Amino acid sequence: MSYRAWFQCITPECGQTYALEEVVYLCARCGNLLEVRHDLDALRNRSAVSWMRLFDDRYKTGQWPYGSAIWGKKEWVLPEVDNANIVSMYEGGTNLYWTERFGKIIGLRDLWVKQCGNSHTGSFKDLGMTVLVSQVKHMISRGKPIKAVACASTGDTSAALSAYCAAAGIPSIVFLPKDKVSLAQLIQPVSNGAIVLSLDTDFDGCMALVKKITEDQTIYLANSMNSLRVEGQKTIAIEIVQQFDWEVPDTIVIPGGNLGNVSALGAGFEMLEEIGLITRRPRIVVAQAERANPLYQAYKSDWKTFEPITARKTVASAIQIGNPVSVQKAIRILKKYSGIVEQATEDEIANAAALADRCGMFNCPHTGVALAALMKLKERDAIASDERVVVISTAHGLKFSEFKVGYHRGMLEHVTSRHANPPTELPAELDVVKRTIDEKIAGI
């Protein structure tokens, strides 16, 4: 069986198509975003049950490249790339676990967290980057003159890009807003040998520059404006359903910045429905930081207007974005999936992340945004206590140690650290140590 995919303009009246081998990010005819479309009739020639069995058979096996949870779904993602050109570091297949104790505290008995940050570079960005860099390698092998791959980043995209490019031996260029990414995020592309440009601007400023630089077709753009990324990330939806033995949860909460990830989540559910693996739809909730909330404001206007804003500094630095590239895609998905947008203040974000940490997690601030939004929705009964809810955790907390340290030292701006647990400094003397332990245990 042969499967096909291509780029297609998202403007319904336009619908212009382009080959995936073309260096194109926006529609040449109308300027809108593109999406990857698949030959669904061909995919439907195989039954839904048979797809489920195939995906289950491949899931996390050692059979390269199909053991990667992305490439285990290759036919639905990038069917025409040769396996020899796949650049994979065994992405996806991250744990989805029942967070019983935290759920109890906030009044939800069926709450799950999908740990997308337990991944090669520590964030979900790996899911899309394996697809994009594989396609680049495929294009180079066919003689396309691509010298390097570039992205603007709030930290995690650049880490993923530089790791996958280094694995493939392809040069990478990353544009980072100076002093606005964590130390761990900065050192990842440095270590992987990327050309690291630290610019005196914010993410939106970096994005504007990288768009100009990639007008030169020999420098390929890796931002999520490039819909190849979305193709990899959409497997989050498929994987969650697979991990629930092909059942659809009621509600999914996801933090949103540039809004590529929520668009991808929706694209995954659409494909599952179109090929017949599911018949019901989850509700999708996007969580934004109050200080970077253009989508929330659009939602509050009943989607009548969308206005880009200048995002203010937030602990959720990876979503400090005022002019999200994928806003149109995201709004379409939210309308289709009974969407809700909720926002959270710095105080709510940091304390939600810390409370969940007290229940065994170790959350990045963006996951904190999702958890805080969830708590607010539960509080006002927008979510029922028996719903099956999945929170998408987007990055590993270890990438954000400054945030954690700042929280436990009580040094975060606009935050009262209600779950601070700073280390106790003591002389190395038995009686003092004993007494302190007794006092601490009594205080729990």
Ligand X SMILES: *Cc1c(COP(=O)(O)O)cnc(C)c1O
Residues that bind Zn ion (CB under 5 A): 9, 11, 14, 16, 27, 29-30, 32
Q: Per CB under 6 A, does 122 bind ligand X? A: no
Q: Are 181 and 317 in contact (CB under 8 A)?
A: yes
395 binds, among ligand X, Zn ion, none (CB under 5 to 8 A by kind): ligand X
Q: Are 148 and 102 in contact (CB under 8 A)?
A: no
Q: How far apart are the first and last CA of the chain?
A: 62
Instruction: Write down the residue that tokens 């105080």 correspond to.
Output: 347
314 to 333: interface string for ligand X, x by CB under 6 A: ----xx--------------
CA distance 264 to 235: 8
Among residues 85, 99, 121, 123, the one that binds ligand X under rule CB under 6 A: 123
Q: Per CB under 6 A, does 204 bind ligand X? A: no
Q: If residue 252 lies in a helix (H) or strand (E), which one and from where to where?
A: strand 251-255
Among residues 225, 364, 372, 383, the one that binds ligand X under rule CB under 6 A: 364
CB-nearer residue toward Zn ion: 27 or 160: 27
Among residues 87, 131, 259, 311, the one that binds ligand X under rule CB under 6 A: 259
CA distance 352 to 394: 15
Q: Which of residues 391-410 bind ligand X (CB under 6 A)?
A: 394-395
Instruction: Write down the residue that tokens 């987007």 correspond to.
Output: 394
**Using CA of residue 75, residue 81, residue 82, residue 84, what is the dihedral sign?**
negative
224 binds, among ligand X, Zn ion, none (CB under 5 to 8 A by kind): ligand X
Q: Per CB under 6 A, does 368 bind ligand X? A: no
Least Å from the CB of residue 32 to Zn ion = 5
259 binds, among ligand X, Zn ion, none (CB under 5 to 8 A by kind): ligand X
Q: Per CB under 6 A, does 125 bind ligand X? A: yes
Beta carbons within 10 angstroms of residue 246's beta carbon: 17
CB-nearer residue toward ligand X: 65 or 117: 117
Overall size of the chain counted in residues: 444
The tokens describing 158, both together, are 């650049």
CB-nearer residue toward Zn ion: 8 or 385: 8
Specify the amino acid at residue 413. Answer: E
Q: Are 311 and 320 in contact (CB under 8 A)?
A: yes
Q: Per CB under 6 A, does 133 bind ligand X? A: no
297 binds, among Zn ion, ligand X, none (CB under 5 to 8 A by kind): none
Least Å from the CB of residue 8 to Zn ion = 9
CB-nearer residue toward ligand X: 43 or 311: 311
Q: Per CB under 6 A, does 115 bind ligand X? A: no
Residue 62's φ and ψ, nearest 5 degrees, are -90, 10
- Concatenate the DSSP letters of all residues of 317-347 into one string: GGG--SS-TTHHHHHHHHHHTT-EEEEE-HH
Q: Are 92 and 235 in contact (CB under 8 A)?
A: yes
Least Å from the CB of residue 176 to ligand X = 13
Among residues 156, 239, 346, 347, the one that binds ligand X under rule CB under 6 A: 156
- Concatenate the DSSP letters of all residues of 105-160 into one string: HHT-SEEEEEETTSSTTSBTHHHHHHHHHHHHHHHHHTT----EEEEE-SSHHHHH
Beta carbons within 10 angstroms of residue 24's beta carbon: 16
CA distance 415 to 349: 9
Q: How many residues bind ligand X (CB under 6 A)?
A: 17
Q: Which stretch binds ligand X (CB under 6 A): 4-12, 243-251, 252-260, 426-434?
A: 252-260
CB-nearer residue toward ligand X: 43 or 184: 184
Residues making contact with ligand X (CB under 6 A): 123, 125, 156, 224, 255-261, 318-319, 364, 366, 394-395
